[in-house]
Amino acid sequence: MLQEISLLRSTIETDIRALEQSKTKDAIEQFRLKHLVRKGTLQDLTDRLRDVPKEEKPAVGKELNALKTLTQNEFERLNEEFSATTATQATIDLTLPGRTLEAGAKHPIRQTLDEIVSIFTGMGFAVSEGPDIEDDFHNFEALNFPPDHPARDMQDTFFMETGGKTEGKSAAHSDVLLRTHTSPVQVRQMLHQKPPIRSIMPGRVYRNEAISARALAEFHQVEGLYVDKNVSLAELKGTLVAFAHQFYGSDLKYRFRPSFFPFTEPSAEMDITCFLCDGKGCRICKYSGWLEILGCGMVHPNVLKAGGVDPEQYSGFAFGMGIERITLLRSGIDDIRLLYDNDVRVLKQFV
């Protein structure tokens, strides 16, 4: 009997070595059916234990149990190893694309703003900023808006409720408001600094407008101001043409069209030929061939006075442009809201 056990042991050991080589589900199952089931080799020997003489039983039993334990353990080990490998095989899909770490980039509005700032600082302009929350004086009065100017109307301006201060006045006449343009920074700059002043003033502005493809209630502008002795309209044109050539390209065509702003006299708007259709007329330029890019003019004497500057001694020019508008025109996007949706599919096109 001991001999038979030892024979079975070597069979089992050979089977195990074979299994080590080919750990297939099938081979493992075959091993189990051969040795570990009721009709298997080990049970067969166990059944025959009763024929073994009594005095030999302990030794034979011990040997047989040792072989049983070994076989069972080896079976479990091999089975586990097999499931572990198949489990990993199942979870690793080698056809999946690798994971890339994407780099962030400047938002298109910030890109436009930075570019404008760098062109003007290159021409000797300083950069200054003013508060988003303004008062009627800086936003309107000092900029020569008459008291009944429609821009003061609730339709355009977000007036702030100022508690006790607004008492006896309607909200429309509250003195505190969200600035509707960056022009009030001109006034602050003049009150803060004696001429010569050469500054650009980027910032966020607010208007009480319904949000649509063409308008937002919150957007960005860059203001420019140059005040010194003998500043002329020719310098205004020269500066803005130099800017436009750097920003839009040196082969650009432009025109200055008379316009009206309360804070400049004379006032103009600058147009450039539509770069999408090259002046032929398209959807973006509304079939005119021209794109309006900014407002400008010679600073009104009343505005100089409000800024503490003597209009008899000094003159100046100013200009203002909308950053969103310029960004849209440049990229040919026709819905301003796309710039604020934070959809990476849109933003990625500006990287």
315 interacts with ligand DAH by CB under 6 A: no
List Cα–Cα distances, 238 to 147, 158, 259, in angstroms. 34, 36, 18
Compute φ and ψ for 285, nearest 5 degrees.
Answer: -90, 15
Please give the Cα distance from 296 to 236 (Å, whole number).
Answer: 8
Structure tokens at 214: 């063409």
Among 179, 319, 325, 327, binds ligand DAH (CB under 6 A): 319
187 interacts with ligand DAH by CB under 6 A: no
178 interacts with ligand DAH by CB under 6 A: no
The minimum distance between CB 324 and ligand DAH, in angstroms, equals 12
Among 243, 261, 290, 350, binds ligand DAH (CB under 6 A): 261
273 interacts with ligand DAH by CB under 6 A: no
320 interacts with ligand DAH by CB under 6 A: yes
Considering only the stretches 19-27, 86-94, 294-302, 325-333, report the one whose residues sit in contact with ligand DAH under the rule CB under 6 A: 294-302
List strand residue ranges (DSSP E) for 90-236, in order: 126-127, 133-135, 176-178, 197-206, 218-228
Please give the Cα distance from 4 to 67 (Å, whole number).
Answer: 12
198 interacts with ligand DAH by CB under 6 A: no
The minimum distance between CB 319 and ligand DAH, in angstroms, equals 5
Among 295, 309, 316, 324, binds ligand DAH (CB under 6 A): 295
Tally Cβ neighbours within 10 Å of residue 260: 12
Which alpha helices (H) appear in the chain, and where do they start and end? 2-21, 25-35, 41-47, 57-91, 108-122, 136-139, 184-192, 233-248, 301-306, 323-331, 344-347
Q: What residue number has its CB nearest to ligand DAH? A: 320
The minimum distance between CB 296 and ligand DAH, in angstroms, equals 5
223 interacts with ligand DAH by CB under 6 A: yes
296 interacts with ligand DAH by CB under 6 A: yes
Find out whether 159 and 170 touch, Cβ atoms under 8 Å. no
Please give the Cα distance from 162 to 275 (Å, whole number).
Answer: 46
AA identity, residue 72: Q
The minimum distance between CB 100 and ligand DAH, in angstroms, equals 43
Considering only the stretches 58-66, 165-173, 272-280, 295-303, report the one whose residues sit in contact with ligand DAH under the rule CB under 6 A: 295-303
203 interacts with ligand DAH by CB under 6 A: no
Please give the Cα distance from 118 to 125 (Å, whole number).
Answer: 9
The minimum distance between CB 101 and ligand DAH, in angstroms, equals 41
Residues near ligand DAH (CB under 6 A)? 181, 183, 223, 261, 264, 295-297, 318-320
